[in-house]
Amino acid sequence: MAAAAARAGGRPWRVIPRPVMETVLHNHALHPRVPQPLLLHGPRGVGKSTLLLNRLLPQWSEPPHYAAFVDFLHPSPSSPAHAPWSLLSDTPPSLPSLRLRLESALEELTRAAVLRGAVGSKDVLAALSRSHGLHTVLSRLAGPASRRGQGTNSVPVLWARAVLAATSSARGDDPTFRIGEGEATNCSMEERAYMQEAMAALRVAKEVLGMQEGWRKEAVREMNRTGRFSRPLANSATDWPCLLLDVLSGAAEEDFFQPKLVLNNVDALRKATCEDDTMVPAAVYHDSFIWRVIALGANEQCLPVIMSTSDGYYSSQAFVDFGFPNIFISREWKVVDELLGPNPRQLCEIYMLKQKANDPEVLHDTNIEEIIDTYLAHLQVSVVNPAMQTALSMVQKFASDVREGKVPENRLSFGAPWRHPRADNPDMCYKWAKIQLMDFVQSYVNTEFGLNYLADDSLEILDDPAAVAMMEVGLLYQQRDPSFVRPITRGIQRCLARWLVQQRLELTLQESISFSWQRVIRGRSYRHLMKEVGYK
């Protein structure tokens, strides 16, 4: 596991408890339709396949739940005799075998939907008509009479004739889409006829897409020879499994029929070999299928599709390849949460900055650390520094009020003894107020940015003019339960620490001596108001 982490970029894998992972996967699969697929990514040998096969699939195979499990690495993953991943051959599997495995699993799932009464002939035609022209191919399937009247017959009429012809003949001879002996015995004649029509419609749809893919074989051969890319040609290879997904997603209904698709070791599909130059490459097939699953979920919602993999490609680069370069992946979210926290406004601003990260005029580096550092610099210059300058003016005014007798002399009887400048010298008052503000921020840093003002009934923090000034300018806020004085965000907290470092670097020798005197002799000490040990 450590070696895998080192190969993945030097970062250790995050350990997620198995009950948490099981709960996340189960809750995702409980929905009949979801807006996006779920990607389970982790190192090999930690139990991803075992969790899916032994814990979740038995629950997902009990009606109304139906699950199709496809393992692209093992031909029969449910067998206890299959070899572990460490003993498998390095030779990648062939694309035709993996394609057949995926299509067979979806066909079995669709067959269960038909026997459940959730899919009919009209559903298949509606899904097929959304993205395919059917008139020519249906005219060929419906018979000579339909070809003679090719210009007058509509698609529904041709479809009905093709389904009728498939019902009354053994064309295709596919046992998957036929009602076997002992099945649908408790149904009426009308219900059985409805199921037979749906089975025939699926056979016709498979033949239609097969014919259309055959017409494009020479175009695919030319695409492979020239190295170009065509999305219609890439999609023609995945038309049949994606049509079944569309039909199943439309038929999914809570507490009646809830299908799921689990793709284990999906990275094997991307790395498969293909010697037939009339078929699209494995990487193109893989990308086309996943892209259409994502599009189906985003546009109309799709049945739960769970993809399990150990390939590092899916942890980051896949989001860029499939059209989501401006989202935060889990590693980036961890950095954002640690440095900025959950403030909605700052999250919105950092997201807008990430969207512009691809512009070289905005950022010279697009990694998340550079983006956050740029945003913190902007926050420092535009928010924190002006606010601290306003707070400095407020502390100066407080000293002037004390000198004029407007503030009781015992205002700070605890914590920080009050020694305001006796002379009315603006320059001296400014330097004194600056040292007072730095003294407060330094004591605040020493308490790890958390002051419990109700601990031991110690309310003197609320008498401190520096604390009051920073709360009034909006850098700190007074929390009631628990009773802490905190920065308004973690980003502001980091900028306050930067402000203190910057001010200490700008001190002259005399000012540095005055600050050290203030800290040692009359400095604030709020250590007794710190947060409890271990609280973060």
Question: Among 262, 295, 324, where does a domain finish?
Answer: 324
Residues 112 and 239 in one domain: yes
In Å, how far from its chain's centre is CA 424?
60
pLDDT at 463 over 60: yes
Same-domain check for residues 125 and 112: no
Q: Same domain, yes or no, for 442 and 407? A: yes
CATH of residue 105: 3.40.50
Q: What is the pLDDT of residues 196-238, one digit of tens each?
A: 999 999 999 999 999 999 999 999 999 999 988 888 999 999 9
* Residue 471 counted as domain residue: yes
Q: Are residues 246 and 103 in the same domain?
A: yes
DSSP string, 361-424: TT-S--SHHHHHHHHHHHHIIIIIHHHHHHHHHHHHHHHHHHHTT-S-TTTT-SSS-----SS-
Assess whether 509 and 442 both reside in one domain: yes
Tokens of 267: 């990275």
The whole-number pLDDT of residue 280 equals: 94
- pLDDT tens for each residue of 375-394: 899 999 999 999 999 999 99
Q: On the CB side of 137, how many CA atoms lie within 13 Å of its CA?
A: 18
Query: Does residue 211 share a domain with residue 265?
Result: no
Cα(154)–Cα(514) distance, integer angstroms: 93
Q: Are residues 195 and 273 in the same domain?
A: no
Please name the residue that has the structure tokens 């189906």. 296
- Domain assignment present for residue 104? The answer is yes
Query: What residue type is 241 in one-letter code?
Result: P
Q: Please indicate, yes or no, if residue 506 is contained in any of the structural domains.
A: yes
Q: Which of 284, 297, 202, 200 is nearest to 236 (CA)?
A: 284
User: Residue 11 pLDDT > 70, yes or no?
Assistant: no
464 to 254, 400, 417, 526, 535: CA distances (angstroms): 60, 15, 10, 11, 25
DSSP-derived pairing of the beta strands 484-487 and 451-452: antiparallel
CB atoms within 10 A of CB 473: 19
pLDDT band at 360 (very low <50, low <70, confident <90, very high): low
Do 103 and 111 contact (CB within 8 A), yes or no? no
User: Of 215, 250, 282, which marks where a domain is finished?
Assistant: 215
Check whether residue 93 and residue 172 sit in a common domain: no
Q: What is the pLDDT of residue 247?
A: 96
171, 253: one domain: no
- Tens digits of residue pLDDT in 485-494: 888 888 898 9
Residue 24 binned pLDDT confidence (cut-offs 50, 70, 90): confident
Centre a 10 Å sphere on the Cβ of residue 381 and count the other Cβ atoms it contains.
Answer: 11
Residue 362 lies in a domain: no
> Residue 536: inside a domain, yes or no?
no
Task: Establish if 498 belongs to a structural domain.
Answer: yes
State whether 454 and 513 are in the same domain: yes
Looking at the predicted structure, is the pLDDT value of residue 73 above 60? yes
The mean pLDDT of 409-427, rounded to a whole number, is 63
Query: What Cα–Cα distance (Å) separates residue 428 from each residue in 338, 400, 420, 421, 504?
Result: 40, 12, 10, 7, 17
Last residue of a domain, one of 158, 182, 215: 215
Number of structural domains in the chain: 3
Higher-pLDDT residue of 171, 284? 284
**Is residue 534 one of the residues assigned to a domain?**
no
Same domain, 42 and 134: no
pTM: 0.61
Range of the domain at 410: 377-529
Q: Which pLDDT score is estimated for 253?
A: 92
Task: Report pLDDT for 521.
Answer: 74
Same domain, 382 and 502: yes
pLDDT in tens, 464-510: 788 889 999 999 888 777 777 888 888 898 999 999 999 999 988 98
Whether residue 193 is contained in a domain is answered as yes
